[in-house]
Structure 1
Amino acid sequence: MGEYRDIEEEDRIKRGEKDMQRRKEELRERDREKINSQIARERERERRIASEREENGLRKEIMRVKERNSTM
């Protein structure tokens, strides 16, 4: 009888360890997804800023050309 309980206890421990490993992996995966999402948002923000800077530079250049043409 005692051996049977020991085997049951070992099985419970093994199942618990497997559950812990699975939970840890799920948490790691969730963290990876959060990090990847954050990186994607940051890249999109950087692209938007670069696009705005380029647009502002073009506007300034257009204004310079208009000014130059109006003084001629």
Structure 2
Amino acid sequence: YIIARNPDVIVVVSYGASVEEIKSRNGWQNIDAIKNDRVYSIDRHLVTSSPRLVDGLEQLAKWFHPELFD
């Protein structure tokens, strides 16, 4: 599914697979996110219902649209 969708960005929650594991998966070398080094790991506390959720959203925005934060 992910290979067929060819995402521009991949975000991994830190308690799951590591960025290195994602980048080295068989058949994933042609995914744009892998080729362009846009695979990120985010702290699980930043994507759960908590006061830090806003921090997580800000981090995601910076990864997805870095040109808006220059």
Larger Rg: 1
- TM-score with structure 1 setting the length: 0.22
- TM-score with structure 2 setting the length: 0.23
Q: Which structure dedicates a bigger proportion of its chain to strand?
A: 2
Q: Which structure dedicates a bigger proportion of its chain to helix?
A: 1
